[in-house]
Amino acid sequence: MKPARSTLLLFFAMAPGPAGAGGAPVLRADGLQQQLESWFAKARRAAPGTWGIAVATLEGQLLWAVQPTRPMIPASTVKLFTTGFARSVLGGDARRITRVLGTGHLDPFDGRWVGSWTLELNGDPTLERPLRGGPTILDLTEQLRATGIRRMSGPLSLASAAGEAVAAYPSVWDPRHQGRYFAPLVGDIVVNEGLVTFAVGAGSGSGKRALLHSATPAAVGDLIEIQAKTVVGRRSRLSVRRAAGGRYLVVGTIGTRARVRWFTLTAHEPKALVEAIWARALRQSGIEWDRSSEPARPAFPLASLAVLAQVTSVPFDSIAMEVNRRSVNVGAELLLRWAGGRQNAADRLTEHVRQVTGELSGVRLVDGSGLSRDDRASPLAFISYLARFPLLPAGKGFPLLLPTNGVGTLRKLAIGMPGPGIVRAKTGTLGNAATVVGYLGRPEGVLLISLMYNGPRVHTARQQQWKLFRLLGAQGVLLPEDSSNIGTQLGGTEPDTVPPREP
């Protein structure tokens, strides 16, 4: 195949022989170039647009490429960089803390906390996720009760270790995404990944009010007002309106024989949601809360206050694995803030990637999730990162933070492979971008693959990308998961550096 004039095609033949230095297998190029060229000829016809491709050995030596140095929109493959950067700063065992702080004393006669108190929220991505695990605000109120507290007074006060607790929509994200479930507010005040989910069903008969069946978090039920009516039939014409005070108004009609209707929305006023969760947790713990009185405000800095209760997130590596597996945008942004601070964190991320890869012109990142269309990275930058970062102390076992084929965003790669564990990769999808970057195990060695497409036929491009992974992985082998093999193949050396396996 002769590439188009706008396409740079490179091929480096590999030296023949059964093994390279140290006994490691050497990738043979026999047939690989033909497979790649044949695939690409079909892919670019099916999905016209801009393609950037790099296929390399585990050491980062290019075998075949199309415009490998061209900066392109990477979409959610940015999360691969974000989790690497944050791990470098924080370490794999780091945890995020949520606390109740106060100054005062406990009245032993009636269990009243006499003094000020505040809830410190620090953007824990796992806080208050009843369906996915993580610490809860109920854990905090149960600790308060265990200390003897039975009564608290004063309005809810929120703070963070960095100062005022805030949550906002990132300015670099497309405003059209605001309010959609994959683009919630980002900041210190985040519970249940910034989402609320609830189900509404028909009432007991025609003309009756529709009923709330379930809500997540459960306290969301205290913020929902249902005005929708039940009508005869199977049809559902329900809609949800956001109201002041973090409330949700359900209007419309639902048929007597209609299925329960589920809604997932972003928390548009996260402080109101936290207050509802806090109030319910106090009730469950048997603590009376008088919001009307006004105690003295907590003194700052927070370090001067006593810790009344405290919970921590799961370890960083577990959070990073989940962020990559489900491509959680808010989780990636929280990891970036956690590691890089509130200001200029994306600049620090960009500098990290440039230092690791040596690619100075092919990388410019403005967020940690890849949701912005202003992010840029080249296929070669990803290849260089995949090859070099696992060799650094902070990168040992890093590939295991990426989902394997058949899991999460790679679930469609369950078909066409000998089994799970052949691929460890990260996907990215926007309205004009489809990318896949990762590791693929073959009998002769591990391939590094970076497939980037920017253009109008995103779905078709993704199908073509899956075809290449299935083609190259049809005779694939398992990527190592134990510490004895990670040292020679995926950059790890010591058993205690291996992250926990994905749940």
Q: Are residues 199 and 339 in the same domain?
A: no
Tokens of 443: 């009998």
Helices 345-357 and 329-340 cross at an angle (nearest 10°) of 90
Span 322-348, average pLDDT: 97
Q: Are residues 403 and 490 in the same domain?
A: yes
Radius of gyration for the chain, computed over Cα atoms and rounded to the nearest angstrom: 26
329 shares its domain with 370: yes
Phi, psi of 66 (to 5 degrees): -130, 115
What is the separation of C-alpha 47 from the centre of its chain, rounded to a whole number of angstroms? 28
pLDDT of 26 > 80? The answer is no
Based on the domain organization, do 360 and 483 belong to the same domain? yes
Neighbours of 105 (CB within 10 A): 11
Q: How far apart are CA 326 and CA 330, in angstroms?
A: 11
Distance, CA of 335 to CA of 89 (rounded, Å): 10
4 found inside a domain:
no
The residues with which 437 forms a beta bridge, in sequence order, are: 426, 450
Q: How many independent structural domains does the chain possess?
A: 3
pLDDT at 241 over 70: yes
Q: Tokens 């944050």 correspond to what residue?
A: 86
Full residue range of the structural domain in which residue 158 is found: 97-169+269-312
CA 330 – CA 79 distance, rounded (Å): 11
- pLDDT at position 32 is 84
Residue 413: give its domain's CATH number.
Answer: 3.40.710.10
Are both 386 and 489 inside the same structural domain? Answer: yes
Based on the domain organization, do 303 and 446 belong to the same domain? Answer: no
Query: Of 194, 458, 428, 181, which is closest to residue 327 (Cα–Cα)?
Result: 428
Query: Domain check: are 196 and 161 in the same one?
Result: no
Residue-wise pLDDT tens digits, 75-94: 999 999 999 999 999 999 99
**Domain shared by 321 and 435, yes or no:** yes
**Is residue 262 domain-shared with residue 273, that is, in the same domain?**
no
CA dist 338 and 325 (Å) reads 19
Q: Is residue 1 part of a domain?
A: no
Pairwise CA distance, residues 67 & 381, whole Å? 12
Q: What is the mean pLDDT of residues 407-426?
A: 95
Q: What amino acid is encoded at 180 in this protein?
A: R
Q: What digits encode the pLDDT tens for the residues 354-402?
A: 999 998 889 999 999 999 999 999 999 999 999 999 999 999 999 999 9
Cα four-point dihedral sign 187, 192, 193, 197:
negative
In a domain, 128, yes or no: yes
Q: Measured between alpha carbons, how far is 94 from 86 in angstroms, rounded to an integer? A: 10
- Identify the pLDDT of residue 28: 52
pLDDT at 146 over 80: yes
Predicted confidence at residue 108, as pLDDT, reads 92
Do 20 and 26 form a contact (C-beta atoms < 8 A)?
yes
| pTM for the structure as a whole | 0.90
Residues 103 and 26 in one domain: no
Pairing of strands 288-290, 151-153: parallel
Order of strands across the sheet with 306-312? 158-159, 113-120, 97-106, 306-312
Lowest mean pLDDT among 28-37, 357-366, 424-433: 28-37
Verify that 407 and 484 share a domain, yes or no.
Answer: yes
Q: Which of 29-33, 379-383, 417-421 has the highest mean pLDDT?
A: 379-383
Report the C-alpha gap between 29 and 322 in whole angstroms: 35
Q: Is the pLDDT of residue 484 over 50?
A: no
pLDDT exceeds cutoff 90 at 229: yes
Contact 66, 4 (CB under 8 A): no
Residue 25 scores a pLDDT above 90: no
- Residue ending a domain, among 202, 234, 266, is 266
Query: Max CA-CA distance within the chain?
Result: 87
Q: What is the mean pLDDT of residues 4-26?
A: 37
Residue 367 lies in a domain: yes
Is 52 part of any domain?
yes
Confidence of residue 304 (pLDDT cuts 50, 70, 90): confident
186 within some domain: no
pLDDT at 18: 33
Residue 138 lies in a domain: yes
221 sits in the region (left: phi over 0; alpha: psi -120 to 50; else beta) called alpha
Based on the domain organization, do 119 and 240 belong to the same domain? no
CATH of the domain at 142: 3.50.80.20
In a domain, 184, yes or no: no
pLDDT in tens, 164-174: 899 999 999 99
